[in-house]
Structures are given as C-alpha cells and as structure tokens.
Amino acid sequence: MEAFELTAPRYRVRCVLEAFHAPVHVGGWYVKLDRGVPQSQWISRETGARIGRGSVVEAIERVVLKGLGSNGAKFNSSGREDMDVRMLSDGRPFALQVHDPKTPLASAENVAAMEREINAQSDITGVRVRGLCFTTKENYHAVGMSSEEHEKEKSYVAIVRVSREATPEDHEKIASTSRLVVQQSTPTRVAHRRADLVRPRTIVSMSSEPIPGSPDSFILRLRTQAGTYVKEFVHGDAGRTAPSLGDLLGCRAEIIQLDVIAINDDWNPSGAPRVA
C-alpha cells in the first residue's frame, strides 16, 4: 500500500472589518412657529421641486447630527400637523434615533447646547425645541407607536368663516355641543396616499367667540380625539365628514387658519413624570 502525505490548501483571505457605534436616542418637544413649514422634507411628485420652507426634521437634525458626529437619523413623533398649521404652546413630542454617532458619550450639557443652537435659528427655520435630552430606544418607539394613540386628545384654535352672518344662536349651538361622534372618510386631500376608510372620531368640546369687524367669521376652540381631521370637520369635505360644523350651523363653513395648541400626552423622554 502506498503512503501519501496530505497537505492543507492555502488561501489568502482578505477580511474587512467595519465598526459602528450603537445608535443613541434624543427626544423632546418641538414648537412650529410659522406656517409653510412641513414636518419633513416635501418634494413635489410632479416637478421634483421642494414644497414649503425647510422642514421641522431638518431644523432639528442639522444641529443634533453635527453635535453627535453622525450622518443620519430617523425621526419619530406623536402625529404631525399640516404644513399650513402651527404647533404652539408646549409643542409636539418627538424623538430621534441617531445612527453611528462619533461622539456617543456627549453630555447633558452638550445636548442643552444643541437645544440653544436650534432655538437661536428659529427666526430662520420657524422651529424651536424644549426639553431636549437623551432618551431610550423604548421611548423612541413609544412616541409614535402608542397602542392608545386614539385615546389621546388634542386641542386646537381656528378662524372659521361661514356663508352668512354668525349669530348668537350659532355660538350657543357650538358651546352646547360635546362628545359629538363624527364619521370621517379619508379626506379627499390625502386619498391618493391613504386607504379610503370611515373612521369615527369624537369632538370632545367646542367654544367660539366673535371677531370684531368680521360678522361672518369667528374664533373656534375645540378639543378632539386624536386622529380627527379638523379641517374636514369644519367644511365637511363634500359630505365625507358628517356631521360637520357646517351641518350643525346649517350653512357653509370654511377654515381660514388652524393652530394646534395642546397635545394631551404623558410621554416624557427623560422618563420622569411630566410637569403640567
């Protein structure tokens, strides 16, 4: 029997090892002071041109990414307002997941400096933040994925114009209406990108006050279940929201401007109880 010597084959292998820092999370509340600012970058599908002036996300990310040495992040928030709607008062909860931060051990003082820098640019961006701090992955997901999202309530103030002179009886009707359940089909303005469903939503309470010198207009304050399309509640969206404010008053109604003034949400990025 012949003997053979076995030799192991030799290969040259080139290994490339890439190391990344784990994501960090930053959260707080944003206030949008100006109309014409979308929450995220908005590009026209027809022309490819930008719509609106900057965005909330860009105003915040520009500073946070620079401060943490990162090239990218994901933004999460408790809903969003339309581009022509301001977000006032305490602001809207949001959180960022910051990818591969080169300075992951930044201090609370560094984050406070980021908040000051964002706010110093608000005359240009129309965006301010408050309570900016490091938070957890769980809080990042919780701000936009709450199973109880539609149990929350939001408060608004609007200027409404009707097709006739507003009367004292109109204001009484508005004030006496509470816990009104409306059936809202997907609004015409977003039907191209959302399923056409009928959603029941509750108008919790309303009040109104005349505008001196404008007999056909008034200020409307309302508190609603989260997820209510307030513009459509006012004008009815050609019958796709019923009953509408116009239905209640027996006339045509249109919304001239709208502001969100409160989001009743106990989410807190720091994990501490929120102070009202």
Amino acid in position 27 = G
Same domain, yes or no, for 137 and 154?
A: no
Give catalytic residues, as residue numbers: 82
Number of domains in the chain: 2
* Mean pLDDT along residues 4-31: 85
Domain boundary among 129, 145, 161: 145
Over residues 97-124, the pLDDT tens digits come to: 999 999 877 898 999 999 999 999 999 9
Q: What range defines the domain where residue 221 resides?
A: 149-263
Last residue of a domain, one of 92, 121, 145: 145
Is 93 found in the same domain as 41? yes
Residue of 46 and 94 predicted with greater confidence: 94
pLDDT in tens, 141-161: 999 755 455 678 999 999 999
**Residue 113 vs residue 46, higher pLDDT:** 113
Domain boundary among 94, 125, 145: 145
Determine the residue type at 225: Q
Q: Are residues 158 and 45 in the same domain?
A: no
Separation CA 137–CA 116 (nearest Å): 24
Whether 272 maps to a domain, the answer reads no
In the predicted model, what is the mean pLDDT of the chain? 92
The verdict on 114 and 205 lying in the same domain is no
Q: Scanning the structure block, which residue is given the tokens 């009202």?
A: 276
Residues 101, 177: one domain? no
pLDDT of residue 2: 66
CATH code (residue 130) = 3.30.70.2510
Region 164-184 average pLDDT = 98
Question: Residue 73 and residue 50: Cα distance in Å, rounded?
Answer: 21
